[in-house]
Structure formats: C-alpha cells, structure tokens
Amino acid sequence: MEGLKPSDLDKYGRWIPGEIYYNSLMTLLDKILFGLIYFHCEKEGGTCTAKDADLARDLNVKTNTIKKSLNKLEGEGYIMRDKIKNASGLVTKRAIRIDDNFKALYPRRNQIQEPPVFPHKKRV
C-alpha cells in the first residue's frame, strides 16, 4: 500500500487498543505507529505491507524513526515482521502482522497507566 489518502483517514480513522494506549512503557509514536499498522492489517487482510517511507510520511517523521519504533514493537512482541520472497528466493516485500498475544503482554497494573481523573472545579 502506498500511504494513506485523506479520504482513508476520514472514512476509517485510527484505533489504538487500550492495552497499547495506556501502556506507559511505550512512546506516543510507538502507540500511533501500532494503531497505523493495525489499520493497515485490517484493511489489507491481516498484514501491513506499507514501506517504512510511507509510514514515515503518514506520521510526519523520518524513516529512521519508524525503523527504531518498528524494532522496539517487534522486540517487545507487539508485531511480527516477515520477509516475502519471490520464486528465486529474493526478498521483494516485508509484511508486518499484529501479534495476537499483544493484549497479554503488559496486563500488570504497575505497567499500564490508568487515565487521569480530574476533579471538577467550581467556577468562582
């Protein structure tokens, strides 16, 4: 897939699972990138074949930043990357899949940041 079009974003938006959104061990970019990969996986039948450059353009960051975040997400077990080879054994694409076990990775309370609760202030 060659990046997202504004109409895709309007139609589909992005979804970040709570296990990812409230995980205080992940950076904001990691969370948003996970949501973007999740979006691609849903749209492309279970895998994301977007190139690093396309993901970087969609998130307005450098390609190297995407590579670092993908390495972190894979190292932590959130995603899996597969190399797709042609008939002669040459790698032609990379496919990213969401690891279905991501929900069980960090269920511990001390690693998941609960949303803040703000008391209502009365206007004076």
Q: What is the pLDDT of residues 37-66, one digit of tens each?
A: 988 888 888 899 999 999 999 899 999 999
Question: Which structural domain, as residue segments, surrounds residue 35?
Answer: 6-101
User: Does residue 87 form part of some domain?
Assistant: yes
User: Does residue 11 form part of some domain?
Assistant: yes
DSSP assignment letter at 61: S
User: Does residue 124 form part of some domain?
Assistant: no
The residue that leads in pLDDT, 81 or 105, is 81
Using pLDDT thresholds of 50, 70 and 90, give the confidence band for residue 25.
confident
CATH number at residue 41: 1.10.10.10
User: Does residue 62 form part of some domain?
Assistant: yes
Mean pLDDT of 83-90: 86
Q: What is the predicted pLDDT for the residue at 4?
A: 54
Distances in Å between the alpha carbon of 45 and those of 23, 37, 41, 71, 89?
A: 26, 12, 6, 23, 24
The total of structural domains in the chain comes to: 1
User: Does residue 114 form part of some domain?
Assistant: no
User: Does residue 55 form part of some domain?
Assistant: yes
The mean pLDDT of the chain is 80
Residue 92 DSSP SS3 = strand
User: Does residue 109 form part of some domain?
Assistant: no
Q: What is the predicted pLDDT for the residue at 60?
A: 93
Q: Which of 20-24, 55-59, 100-104, 110-114 has the least mean pLDDT?
A: 110-114
User: Does residue 70 form part of some domain?
Assistant: yes
